[in-house]
Amino acid sequence: MKVLDRKLFYQLLVIILFYLEFPIGDIFVTDEFKTDVTIENRGEIEAKFDLITNPSPFGKMFKFNLEEGILGVGEKIPFKITFCSTILGEFSENFRWKLGGSSEVL
């Protein structure tokens, strides 16, 4: 595998995660919320990605049917996020993705 310098790597790797925010609204405990999300590679090289787990109380209640993979150049991959809470409360969660070959997270 050819080693790219960091600046060139970031210019070639452009990953877009559609639906960066989604309001869940008011739901009852044990109600299930589902949404569809798409991740896309608009860069010039393939990209390996991995979900970084979120250990917060509410973060653990989100399930992703796709947590890792490889995106080819120009490829889009749809996946689902499901949330089902067992506790009451307000929350705001951030989910991060590790990109192979990069120290940056998405």
Domain that holds residue 75: 6-99
| pTM of the model as a whole | 0.70
**What's the total number of domains in the chain?**
1
Least confident residue range of 2-11, 16-25, 77-86: 2-11
**105 in any annotated domain:** no
**54 in any annotated domain:** yes
User: What are the CB-based long-range contacts (under 8 Å, 24+) for 30-34?
Assistant: 30/84, 30/85, 30/86, 31/84, 31/85, 32/82, 32/83, 32/84, 33/82, 33/83, 33/84, 34/80, 34/81, 34/82, 34/83
- Which is more confidently placed, 99 or 18? 99
Report the CATH number at residue 16.
2.60.40.10
- Return the pLDDT at 7: 46
- Return the pLDDT at 14: 55
- Return the pLDDT at 90: 82
Give pLDDT tens digits for 23-49: 677 778 888 988 888 888 887 888 888
**106 in any annotated domain:** no
Percent with pLDDT over 90 in the chain:
6
